Amino acid sequence: MNAFELLHNRIDLSAIPFTDRGSRLLIFREGNRIAIRLAERWERWQGEVGHYRQRPPILDQLTFLSADGTPQPFEVDSYPHCVTLCTPLGNFAWTFIEPEAVLIRLPEGDYGLSFEAHATRGAPDRRGGTLHGKRNIAYTTNAQILHNEMLALTGDRFRVNMRLSARDGNALLLNITPRLGYNRALPPPDEAIQSSRAAWQAWFDSVPSVLPEYEWQYAHAWWIMRAGLLNTRYYFTREALVPSKIHYIGVWQWDQYFHALAYRHVDTRLAEDQIRIVLDHQREDGMLPDAIHDEGLVTRLTRPVDADVTKPPLTAWAVLKVFEKCGRLDFLSEVYEPITRWHEWWLRDNLSANGLCHYQHPFSSGLDDSPLWDEGMPVVSPDLNTYIVIQAESLARIAALLGLTAEAGRYREQAQQHTARMVEALWDERRGYFNALYQGKPVEVFTPFQLLPLWTGSLPERINARLIAHLTNPQTFWAKWALATVALNDPKFDPDQMWRGPIWANINYLFIEALNRVGRPELADALRRNTLELIMQSRDIYEYYNPLTAARPPKAAPIFGWTSAVFIDLAIQETAYVLHGG
């Protein structure tokens, strides 16, 4: 797989920005100008500067000018390691030399450039200049500076106007940082570009091969898995993948578990760290946070209800997925006790009168706007109680691997008892699926989450058969593109609205595992191929998909992490199946 050729011009600077591993800088084009946005939340300044999705770029209006001051158009020629802006003046090649600094190789000649930046003060100097504000900016060049002007504008903005006389080997360095010190050391630009290419090449060289029909999107998925990483800063205690550097800044708990599915194939330490960053912030009572960002944690929300907020308990399941590749008992020993405390938090602080667990906040389900929560909270939901069973089984396996025989037996028994309670309290014989209960009464909507107890693998065969019949019904979930997150024939189905109809690849992944577990590999194989084909339909990889058209719904985030991770793992599975018979 030649990933560089497969990814040539995939970064268009419009829908897909230029960024790099660890970086919070996102480089976009706005017409024939360049803007640099920050993948940072700025929670304490949100009232002043707005939500990060709507916040203006930290640096924008960057324009290349002819000698007479005429703005120059450009075309983009991009690879993962380098984006070149091809102008009538020559080619300006951009590459990252560190997460907070991007180097621009300058063409020979005399020309100008200008840009605007958010800052409260600044000053030019003989090599460029510096600006200070909520983030500090340095611009540095080894080209001859003919003119260097910094103008204060209104609203804490400055405009920089420069004219340069550049020779071969000259460069411009932009450093945008929260730090007091700047990086103003200019490496030879050709060496910097080659160094960046070598880092990307090493990444692509490490990935397993897949069938040729998947390589085009597989390369993009691996680009997302590297380019979407943020380095450590404050509460962000490990290098970790954010769901989308454009739309979701921070890590969300259960996203990390799916991200680990991909990283385990190339870097097991990185896979482990996707789980560690969550465990780093465990509360004293055992609860794990919903989300983590540079400046803090999300552990409670007041809307749509006031309650603690977390994510589904899939930690132990994800740990075992990583262990399948790393085989490190020390990792199991490290995380076992925190996960047992997390498991007990669910069973202690979220227990309903029927002995099953409930969600107290809709966002704790991960299914934020699902119609399962339309009637109110808390809800005893089949998906949550399935996760409780899977986590108990996974803890039993971990305990057995660590030689903790008695604890392994206790968790196995707990899983069996919890499954029995689900059947007793939630199974609806007339409808043939498991109900979600609000105030003891069924929530009137049909979703695949009411079929998820199939994953436990320990239901009576007659129940499995009825669940599978619903799952594979083209009128409900298994149409041309599977699986809709609300039944296609349900009045609350909306093909474009988040968890009210669209397909989510991570949910398909769980059902693929469920179907294999209950002895229906032909259906698991069909769903795996359908999911791969769905994700292949688009140039980018999205948060979720319209189940009628396979298109991107208007609000679905681009360059999405767990969809990429699931695509990678399923493509590897499908390749093994085709080449080695499973």
pLDDT digits (tens, 9 = 90+) for 380-405: 999 999 999 999 999 999 999 999 99
Instruction: Specify the pLDDT at position 37.
Output: 97
Banded pLDDT at 582 (limits 50, 70, 90): low
Q: Tell me the two tokens of residue 480.
A: 């041309």
Cα(371)–Cα(373) distance, rounded to whole angstroms?
Answer: 5
Edge-first strand order for the sheet with 251-252 is 251-252, 291-293, 296-298
Would you tell me the crossing angle of helices 268-279 and 253-263 to the nearest 10 degrees?
Answer: 170
For 520, the token pair is: 């229906």
- Residue 46 has a pLDDT of 82
Q: How far is CA 313 from CA 199, 273, 287, 310, 536, in A?
A: 35, 17, 10, 9, 30
- Cα 183 to Cα 216, 313, 337: the distances in Å are 36, 42, 42
pLDDT of residue 518: 98
CA 399, distance to chain mean position in Å, is: 30
Average pLDDT over residues 521-540: 98
pTM value is 0.97
Residue 358, strand partner residues: none
The closest alpha carbon to 454, from 446, 445, 462, belongs to 462
Q: Which amino acid is at 197?
A: R
**What pLDDT does 43 receive?**
82
Kindly report the length of the chain: 582
Q: How far apart are CA 27 and CA 16, in angstroms?
A: 9
DSSP state letters, 349-388: HSB-TTS-B-BSSGGGGT-TT-GGGTT-S-BB-HHHHHHH
* Domains present along the chain, CATH in parentheses: 3-201 (2.70.98), 206-580 (1.50.10.10)
Cα dihedral 389, 395, 398, 404 sign? negative
Q: Residue 354: phi, psi to the nearest 5?
A: -85, 5
- Backbone φ, ψ for residue 362 (5° rounding): -55, -35
Q: What is the pLDDT of residue 104?
A: 98
Residue 577 has pLDDT above 70, yes or no: yes
Rounded CA separation 238/523 (Å)? 38
Closest CA relative to residue 114, chosen from 69, 169, 173: 69
Once rounded to an integer, what is the mean pLDDT over residues 174-194?
96
For helices 329-349 and 315-326, the axis angle rounded to 10 degrees is: 170
**Bridge pairing between strands 433-434 and 427-428:** antiparallel
**Cα 258 from Cα 317, distance rounded (Å):** 10
User: Peptide bond preceding 483: is omega within 30 degrees of 0, i.e. cis?
Assistant: yes
Do residues 393 and 458 make contact, with C-beta atoms less than 8 angstroms apart?
no
Mean pLDDT of 553-582: 95
